Structure 1
Amino acid sequence: MKKAGLSKMAVPIGVVGVVLLLVVPLPAAMLDMLIVVNIALSLVILLTAMYVKRPLDFSVFPSIILIATLFRLGLNVASTRLVLRDAYAGEVIHAFGSFVVGGSLVIGLVIFMILVVIQFVVITNGAGRVAEVGARFTLDAMPGKQMAIDADLNAGILTEAEARKRRAEVTAEADFYGAMDGGSKFVKGDAIAGIVITIINLVGGFIIGMMQRGMSAGEALETYSLLTVGDGLVTQIPALLLSVATGIICTRASAEDDLGTAASGQLLQSRTALTIAGGAAIVFALIPGMPKLPFLAVGIVMLIASQRLKANEAKAALEAEQAAATQLPGAPAKDTNEQLIEEMRVHALEIHLSPDLVDLVRPGASDDLLGRIRSLRRKIALDLGIVVPPVRTRDSVELAHATYAVRVAGVEVARGSLPPGRVLALGDDLSSLPGEQVREPVFGLDGKWVPAELRFAAEMSGATVVDRVSVLITHLSNVVTQNADRLLSREDVRVLTEGVKQVNPSVVEELIPGVMSLGEVQRVLQGLLAEGVAIRDLSRIYEALTLRAKVSPDPEGLVEAARRELGPSITASHARNNVLRVITLDPVLEHSLLEGLRPGEGGTQLSIDVPRAEAMLVSYQQVRSQSEGRGEHPVLVCAPAIRPALHRLIAGQVGPATVLSYTEVTGSGIQIETVGVVRDVAAVAA
C-alpha cells in the first residue's frame, strides 16, 4: 500500500482500535507500549503547537484533541481493568508509581494530588476560558473582516482570487476557534474523568485487595496506592501536555515566526528591562540571610545579556550609518531591477499631498480619504461602466502648504488647497464669515475656508459647508469623469469583455476578434466616454458595433452607431422630470453646415468661414446662458450627420457641451421642450 493510502487509513484504524480498548482486555506488555505511544504523541502535539506560526496552520488540532482524549480514556479503562484484576498493570505504571512514591506513600499521594489540581484548576480552566473568549471574539469580528476584504477588493488592492482566499481564511478561522471552544470541553472532561478513575482505582483496589486477595489493610493500601499513582501519572502527564498545547494554540496571535523565536526576540528587546532585573537580583543577594549564589548567578547573567544587547544595537546602528554614507542622496536603498521598474512605472491615477495633508490618509483619521476613494470608484463604475484604476496617494515636498495635485498618467491635471483645521463654506453672502475668498475648483462657486469650529455659524448664515475630504473627492470625481477615456486601458476593455462573455457569449464571439480587434473596441469605448456616455450596456454596444463594422470600419461611424443604440439611455441621463430641454439650430444654418461637411483624418469637419463660426458660437452661448440662468441644463440637438463635427467645434472653442442627434432623442418617450434656437447671426446681419 502506498504512503498516501497508509496516511489515509491510519486515523480510522486508530479510532477503531481505541474503541476496542474499552472492551477487549490487554496484556500488560501491550499496555506498556500504548502508554509510551500516548506520552510521545502528546509531546509531539505540544511541540507542534509551539512551532506553528499561525493557529490555522494546525487546523486539525480540535479533532486531534478528541481522538487523543478518547485514546487516553481507553488506556485508563484498560489499566483500571488490570489494576483491579491482577494488581499489576505493566512496568511503565509500576515505574512511575515507584519513582513518585519513593520511600513515602504520603508524600507520593500529596505530589500526585498537586499535579491533579494543577491540571484541573489551572491549565484546563485557563485553556477553556481562552478558547471560549477567542471563539466569541472571532465570530464577532467576522463581519468586519469580510467588509474590509470587500473594501480592498473594490479599491483594487486585492484581486478576485486573493479576495476569495482571504474570505476562506476568515471563515476557516471562525470555524477553527469555534471548534477549539468545543475541544477545550473535551480536555476539561478528560481531567474530571481522570480524577474519578483515580478514586475508583484507589478505593476499589483497597477493597478488592482486602476482600479477594486476603491482603492486610496496610499491604492493600501500599500496593494499590502505588498502582493508582502510577496509572494517574501516565494519563495525567499526557493530559497536561495536551492542555498546555490547547492554551498555546488559543493564545497565539498570527505571527511570522514560531513561538520560541517570537518569545525570545520580544523578551530580549528591552535592554533597560534586563539591566533593572539583573540589578534587582544582585540587590536580593545582598540582603542578610538570602542565598547569595543563585541570586548573583541570575543577576550576572541578565547584566551580561543586557550588555550584549547594547553591543548588538550599537553594531546595527553603525551598519545603518555606513550604508547611508555609501548611498547617494535620493537613490533607492537597492538598485534591483524590480525596484527600478517600480520607480519607472507611470501610475494611471495619483493624488499628491503636501506633507501637512498626509494625516488624511493615516489609519483612524476622522476624514477617511481612502474609504471615500473606494466609494467613489464604486459610484463611477455604476455611473460610467468603467473600473477606475487604484488611486495612488503619496506625499510630495514640492507642493506648497495645504496643497494637493491630481495626476493622470503622470501629468498633473488639477490642483487645489485644503487648509488644515478648516471647512469650505459656499454661498452668495459670506461677508460675515472670516477667511480668504476662494473659488470652488469644480463648479466655480464662491467660498471661504473658515475655521472648523465656526461650521455651525456658517450653516446658520445660509452657507453650504463642505469638509476637506469632500472637496478633494468632488474634484477627483470631476477629473476622473473628464479623463475617463484616458483611464480606460486595453486591459480594462479585456476584463469588461470577459464579463460580457459570461452572460452574453454570442455577442462577444461574433465581434471579437473576427470583426474588430480589442484595440479597435477600446477606441470606440474611449470615444463614447470622451463625450460622457456611459458604457455600462456593453452587450448593446457590441451588437451595434458588429452590424456597423461589417459595413465600414470608420471609428466615427462606429461611435455614432453605438450612440444610436444607446439613444434612449443617453437622452434619459440629460432629462429632468421626464423633460429634455433642447437648443436647436436654425434650419438655414443647419442646411449650410450640412453642405460644408468635409471628411478629415480625425473625423468629419465643418468647412465654414471663421466669422460665421464665431457668430454661431456666440449665439449658442447666449441661448445657453439664458437657459442656465433659469436653472435649466439644455442640450444642443442637430442632424446626425453633423453631430460629431459640431461637437468637436463647440468643445474646442466653448468648452464641455452636450450635443445630441435627432435620432438619439426621438423614440425615447421623453418630452422635448425647445428653450432656444441658434441662428446664423452673420447671415442675418448681411
Structure 2
Amino acid sequence: MKKADIGVALYLLAAVIFLIVPINSTLLDVMLALNISIALIVLFNTLFVKEVLDMSFFPTLLLFTTIFRISLNVSSTRLILTTGAPGNVVETFGSFVGGGDMIVGAVVFIILIIIQFVVINKGSERVAEVSARFTLDAMPGKQMAIDADLNTGAITETQARERRNKIQEEASFFGSMDGATKYVKGDATAGLIITFVNLIGGTAMGMMRGGLDFSEAIQRYGLLTMGDGLCSQIPSLLISLSTGILVTKASKNADFSNILVKQLFGIPKALYLVGGSLIFLGAVTPLNVVLFAALGAAFIVAGRMVDKNIGIENIEEEVSQAETEAEEIRKPENVVSLLQVDPIELEFGYGIIPLADVNQGGDLLDRVVMIRRQIALELGTVVPIIRLRDNIQLNPNQYIIKIKGIQVTEGEILFDHYMAMNPGYVEEEITGIPTFEPSFHLPAIWITESQRERAESLGYTVVDPPSIIATHLTEVIRSHIAELLTRQDVQNLVNNLKESNPVLVDELVPKLLGLGEIQKVLQNLLSEGISIRDLLTIFETLADHAPATRDTDVLTEYARQSLKRAISSKYFPANETTSVITVDPKIEQEIMGSVKQTEQGAYLTLDPERTKAIMASVEEEVAKLENMGKPAIIMTSPIVRMYFKKLTEDYFKDLTVLSYNEVESNVELQSVGMVTI
C-alpha cells in the first residue's frame, strides 16, 4: 500500500475509534489541533487552486472532515462529563475565546452558528444546486461545440476526448457538491444540538456528582461546553467557507487572488472617489478627522499608483506586440504544415459564412456532424474530418468541394432563398429564378420565403440552402468514399473487430491476406455502394476463400455473395416484383472468353466494335426502365458480374450490376429486357 492510502485509512479509522474508545485529554488536544490544521489547509487550497476540478474530491473530503470532527465532539463530550478536564485546547477556547464568561462564550458560539448556518451554508447550498443544474443543462451544447471544433479541424481527436471527459467530470463534481453541502449544514445543526446536550448534561453531572450548586455547575461546565463548541465550530466554519469559495469561483483557470485584487482595486477612478468621500466625511461630520483623512489620502495615493502601473503595462504591451510582430516577420516560414492534404474540404464564399457560424444561427457544422454519422451507419466506414473554410476568392454565394486537395464539384446558392423542385406531378408553375439542383443536376427554381408555403402546398419539394450544401456534400462523399478509405482506417476497423473476434482476425491478418489486400476488397465494395458495416461476415468469407485465391476482385465477389441479404434489401423492395434487365448468355460467354489473366489481375480483350454494340444495347434497355420510372438494374451470372461491371462503368456511372447469387431466394424479379446483339 502507498503512504497516502495508509494515511487516509488511519484518518478514517481514528474517527471510528474515537466514537467508541475513550481517549485522554492530551491525545484529544493533538487531534483538535490536527482538525484545525486540516481545516486551514482546505481553506487555503480552495483559495489558491486555479481550477475547481483540481479539487474534484472535495465532496468526499467534506464527508471525511465532518465525521472526524463529530468523533472529536463525542470524545470531548465524554471527557467533559466524566472528568471535567477535556484538555488544554477546549479549556483555552472556553476561557480565552469566550472571555472567561459562559454568557459571552454562548453569544460568540451562537453568532458563529448563525454565520455558518444562515449565511455561508445557505448561500453555498443554493450556488451548488444552481451550478449543478446549469452544468447538466449546458452539457449537450458543449458536446456539440466540441464536435463542431473537431469537424473544422480546430482540435484533434485527443483534445476532443479530453474536453468531453472534462465536461463529464464537471457535471459529476457540481452534482456531488450539491449533495455534499448537506454534510456541512448537518454538521452545524449537530454542533448546536451537541452543545445544548453537553450544557444540560454537564450541569447535571456537576450538581449530582460534583457537589456543586447550580450557578457553579453551569459556570464551570458551561465554559467547557462553549469551549468544546467553539473549537469544533471554528474548523467547521473554515470548511463551510472553503465550500463557498470553491462553488462561487467564476474563473476556472486563473490566479484567484491576483484577479480578485485587480478587480477590486484595478480602477483608479473608483479609488479617487473613495478617497475623496472619506476625506469629506472626516471634515464635515463628527467622525475622527485624522483617521478618515489618512485613510482617504491612502486610497488617493493607491489610485495614483494603479493609474501609473496601467500606463506602464500599456506601453510594455505595445512594445511586446511590436517585438512579436517583428519576430514573426524575421522567422523563416514553416512550410511543413502546407504539405498536409485534407481528405475532404468544403470551401465557401463570404456570403455563406452565416450558415456555418453558430453565433449567427447557422447549423452547417451540425449537419456535417450528422453526415459523418449517416455515412457510418449506411456504409460502415468512418468519414475523415471534413474541413470547412471560407475563401474570399470565390463568389459570395459559391462553394466548392475538394477531395484530397483537388476540386471535384461546385455549387452556388442564394442566401435567404429556398430551392423548389418539381417531383414530376405538379402542373402549376411558380415564379422564381431557374437553376439546377447541384447534387443530381435536376431542374429547380429559387423562391423567396413568402413563396415557400404556397410551393409546398402545390407539391413542390422545398429545401433550404444548408440542406442543399449538406446533400451535395453527402453525395460527393458517397461517390468517393472508396478512395478515402486508407490503410490506417482499415487497421482501425480490424482492431475494433479483433476486440470481439480475435480468433478470426488472427487467422486472416496477416497470415492469409495483407492489410492492403483487405483494403482493396473493402474499396471494391464501397465503390459500388455496398456497406461494409457487417465486417464480421466479410472477414469470415475472406478467411474461407483466401487459401484458394488472393485475387481481390474474386474475393470481392465472394464477399458480395455473403452479403446478399443486405444487397437484396437495398435494391429490391419487400413484397414487390422488381423489373430488371438480363444479359444474353452468348454475350456472357463472349465476355468470359475475352478475359485474360495476368499477375497484375484480369482484364478484358473484347473487340472495340463488339464493346460498342453491347453498350448500345445496354443503353437501349436502360432507357426502357428509366421511362418506366424504375432504377436500372442488370442481372448477370456470378462469374460474369465483375467483368460486365468493369465493361460498363465508364459508360454508365450509376448502373447497378448484380449477380443471381447476390439475390435472396424470396425476391421476385421480372425481366423486361435483355442485353443482346
Query: Which TM-score band (shorter chain)?
Result: 0.7 to 0.9
Shift of the 111–648 alpha-carbon distance from structure 1 to 2, 3 Å rule, reads same
Superposition deviation, residue 377 in structure 1 = 1.9
Secondary structure at the aligned position of 1:442 is classed as: coil
Q: Deviations over 1:292-348 (max 9, x none)?
A: 2213312432442244234323422332233224434xx9x9967xxx544422121
Shift of the 167–344 alpha-carbon distance from structure 1 to 2, 3 Å rule, reads closer
- The aligned amino acid for 2:271 is G
**In structure 1, how many angstroms separate the alpha carbons of the residues matched to 2:452 and 2:351?**
22
Please tell me whether residue 285 in structure 1 is matched to residue 278 in structure 2: yes
Q: Is the 8 A contact 1:593 1:642 kept in 2?
A: yes
Q: Is the 8 A contact 2:347 2:389 kept in 1?
A: yes
Bigger drift between 592-601 and 178-187 goes to 592-601
- The aligned amino acid for 1:499 is N
Which of 19, 43, 47 is the equivalent residue of 1:46?
43
**In structure 1, how many angstroms separate the alpha carbons of the residues matched to 2:97 and 2:547?**
95
Cross-structure match for 1:399: 394
**In structure 2, how many angstroms separate the alpha carbons of the residues matched to 1:64 and 1:499?**
40
Q: Where do residues 205-284 of structure 1 align in structure 2 (5 Å cutoff)?
A: 226-252=223-249, 255-257=252-254, 259-260=256-257, 263=260, 274-284=267-277
**In structure 1, how many angstroms separate the alpha carbons of the residues matched to 2:508 and 2:214?**
99
**In structure 2, how many angstroms separate the alpha carbons of the residues matched to 1:508 and 1:200?**
72
Q: Deviations over 1:177-211 (max 9, x none)?
A: 45434432232232233334444566666777788
Superposition deviation, residue 471 in structure 1 = 0.9
Secondary structure at the aligned position of 1:495 is classed as: helix
**In structure 1, how many angstroms separate the alpha carbons of the residues matched to 2:464 and 2:106?**
74
Q: Deviations over 1:194-234 (max 9, x none)?
A: 33444456666677778877878887776566545544332
Q: Is the 8 A contact 1:155 1:374 kept in 2?
A: no
Cross-structure match for 1:684: none
Please tell me whether residue 321 in structure 1 is matched to residue 322 in structure 2: yes
**In structure 2, how many angstroms separate the alpha carbons of the residues matched to 1:655 and 1:511?**
33
- The aligned amino acid for 1:460 is S
Bigger drift between 385-394 and 311-320 goes to 311-320
**In structure 2, how many angstroms separate the alpha carbons of the residues matched to 1:477 and 1:236?**
65
Q: Is the 8 A contact 1:32 1:91 kept in 2?
A: yes
Superposition deviation, residue 490 in structure 1 = 0.4
Bigger drift between 439-448 and 7-16 goes to 7-16
Bigger drift between 232-241 and 254-263 goes to 254-263
Question: What percentage of residue pairs aligned between the two structures are identical?
Answer: 37
Superposition deviation, residue 633 in structure 1 = 0.8
Cross-structure match for 1:195: 192
Shift of the 454–302 alpha-carbon distance from structure 1 to 2, 3 Å rule, reads farther
Q: In angstroms, what is the RMSD of aligned CA positions?
A: 3.9
**In structure 2, how many angstroms separate the alpha carbons of the residues matched to 1:572 and 1:196?**
73
Shift of the 674–7 alpha-carbon distance from structure 1 to 2, 3 Å rule, reads same
Q: Is the 8 A contact 1:606 1:645 kept in 2?
A: no
Shift of the 213–296 alpha-carbon distance from structure 1 to 2, 3 Å rule, reads farther
Superposition deviation, residue 436 in structure 1 = 2.6
**In structure 2, how many angstroms separate the alpha carbons of the residues matched to 1:310 and 1:57?**
35
Shift of the 213–302 alpha-carbon distance from structure 1 to 2, 3 Å rule, reads farther
Cross-structure match for 2:351: 356
Cross-structure match for 1:389: 384
Bigger drift between 625-634 and 302-311 goes to 302-311
**In structure 1, how many angstroms separate the alpha carbons of the residues matched to 2:295 and 2:489?**
71
Which of 11, 30, 33 is the equivalent residue of 1:33?
30
**In structure 2, how many angstroms separate the alpha carbons of the residues matched to 1:407 and 1:265?**
50
Superposition deviation, residue 517 in structure 1 = 0.8
**In structure 1, how many angstroms separate the alpha carbons of the residues matched to 2:507 and 2:73?**
74
Secondary structure at the aligned position of 1:603 is classed as: strand
Q: Is the 8 A contact 2:144 2:366 kept in 1?
A: no
Shift of the 43–490 alpha-carbon distance from structure 1 to 2, 3 Å rule, reads same
- The aligned amino acid for 2:621 is V
Q: What stretches of structure 1 of length at least 5 have no aligned partner?
A: 681-686
Cross-structure match for 2:420: 425
Superposition deviation, residue 112 in structure 1 = 4.7
Cross-structure match for 2:406: 411
**In structure 2, how many angstroms separate the alpha carbons of the residues matched to 1:494 and 1:10?**
49
Cross-structure match for 2:61: 64
**In structure 2, how many angstroms separate the alpha carbons of the residues matched to 1:558 and 1:75?**
76
**In structure 2, how many angstroms separate the alpha carbons of the residues matched to 1:72 and 1:634?**
81
Q: Is the 8 A contact 2:100 2:223 kept in 1?
A: no
Superposition deviation, residue 519 in structure 1 = 0.6
- The aligned amino acid for 2:477 is V
Cross-structure match for 2:482: 485
Which of 369, 374, 382 is the equivalent residue of 1:374?
369
Superposition deviation, residue 32 in structure 1 = 3.0
Aligned residues: 664
Q: Where do residues 124-163 of structure 1 align in structure 2 (5 Å cutoff)?
A: 124-137=121-134
**In structure 2, how many angstroms separate the alpha carbons of the residues matched to 1:103 and 1:52?**
39
Superposition deviation, residue 465 in structure 1 = 0.7
Bigger drift between 134-143 and 442-451 goes to 134-143
Bigger drift between 41-50 and 499-508 goes to 499-508
Q: Deviations over 1:228-282 (max 9, x none)?
A: 55443322211110111122233346823454355456667xx6xx133213213
Shift of the 71–383 alpha-carbon distance from structure 1 to 2, 3 Å rule, reads closer
Superposition deviation, residue 559 in structure 1 = 2.8
Which of 518, 521, 532 is the equivalent residue of 1:521?
518
**In structure 1, how many angstroms separate the alpha carbons of the residues matched to 2:11 and 2:488?**
50
Cross-structure match for 2:445: 448
Cross-structure match for 1:500: 497
Q: Deviations over 1:444-477 (max 9, x none)?
A: 2111222334321332343211011211111111
**In structure 2, how many angstroms separate the alpha carbons of the residues matched to 1:196 and 1:297?**
47
Superposition deviation, residue 415 in structure 1 = 1.2
Superposition deviation, residue 110 in structure 1 = 4.7
Cross-structure match for 2:22: 24
**In structure 1, how many angstroms separate the alpha carbons of the residues matched to 2:646 and 2:135?**
58
Please tell me whether residue 119 in structure 1 is matched to residue 112 in structure 2: no
Cross-structure match for 2:649: 651
Secondary structure at the aligned position of 1:399 is classed as: coil
Q: Is the 8 A contact 1:568 1:668 kept in 2?
A: no
Shift of the 435–314 alpha-carbon distance from structure 1 to 2, 3 Å rule, reads farther
Superposition deviation, residue 479 in structure 1 = 0.7
Q: What stretches of structure 2 of length at least 5 have no aligned partner?
A: none
Please tell me whether residue 557 in structure 1 is matched to residue 554 in structure 2: yes
Shift of the 221–587 alpha-carbon distance from structure 1 to 2, 3 Å rule, reads closer
Superposition deviation, residue 82 in structure 1 = 5.1
Shift of the 198–439 alpha-carbon distance from structure 1 to 2, 3 Å rule, reads same
Secondary structure at the aligned position of 2:24 is classed as: coil
Cross-structure match for 1:459: 456
**In structure 2, how many angstroms separate the alpha carbons of the residues matched to 1:346 and 1:444?**
29
TM-score scaled to structure 2, two decimals? Answer: 0.85
Secondary structure at the aligned position of 1:656 is classed as: coil
**In structure 1, how many angstroms separate the alpha carbons of the residues matched to 2:506 and 2:117?**
69
Which of 333, 339, 343 is the equivalent residue of 1:344?
339
Q: Deviations over 1:659-684 (max 9, x none)?
A: 2334445x64322212223343xxxx
- The aligned amino acid for 1:301 is A
Q: Where do residues 83-122 of structure 1 align in structure 2 (5 Å cutoff)?
A: 89-100=86-97, 110-122=107-119
Shift of the 317–416 alpha-carbon distance from structure 1 to 2, 3 Å rule, reads farther
Bigger drift between 222-231 and 568-577 goes to 222-231
**In structure 2, how many angstroms separate the alpha carbons of the residues matched to 1:587 and 1:208?**
113
Secondary structure at the aligned position of 1:483 is classed as: helix
Please tell me whether residue 3 in structure 1 is matched to residue 9 in structure 2: no
- The aligned amino acid for 1:607 is L
**In structure 1, how many angstroms separate the alpha carbons of the residues matched to 2:238 and 2:208?**
38
Shift of the 116–417 alpha-carbon distance from structure 1 to 2, 3 Å rule, reads same
- The aligned amino acid for 1:394 is R
Please tell me whether residue 294 in structure 1 is matched to residue 295 in structure 2: yes
Q: Is the 8 A contact 2:591 2:604 kept in 1?
A: no
Superposition deviation, residue 62 in structure 1 = 3.0
**In structure 2, how many angstroms separate the alpha carbons of the residues matched to 1:276 and 1:261?**
20
